[in-house]
Amino acid sequence: MTALIAGLPGGMEWVILLVVALLLFGGTRLAGMGKGAGRAIREFKDEVKAPTGIEAQKAAEAEDLSTPVDAEIVTPEPRKDI
């Protein structure tokens, strides 16, 4: 089976890489690295989705459109220096 993109390892190459990594780091350390990578990805996704700071305030204000606002409409005067 050939790789679709030249330069990427194929099936047997992945097996060899995994065996070398297992020999170098050990099963416990590889499992810990995988767990840490998964946790980092999950935290990154949560931070990207959750609005913080100013965005959270704007979202809260945008949701509260039911209360009327007292405002005065002002028409600007034409400029005289033109």
Q: What pLDDT was estimated at residue 64? A: 62
Q: What pLDDT was estimated at residue 66? A: 66
* H or E stretch covering 54: helix 54-63
Residue 5: CB atoms within 10 Å: 6
User: At 22, which amino acid appears?
Assistant: L
Better-scored residue on pLDDT, 67 or 3: 67
Q: What is the rounded CA–CA span in Å between residue 82 and residue 31? A: 74
Name the 3-class secondary structure at 18. Answer: helix
Classify residue 77 by its DSSP letter: P
Tokens of 55: 């965005």
Encode pLDDT of 50-77 as tens digits.
766 676 677 666 666 666 778 888 888 8
Residue 3 has pLDDT above 60, yes or no: no
The structural domains of the chain, with segments of one domain joined by +, span 13-58
What is the value of pTM for the model shown? 0.44
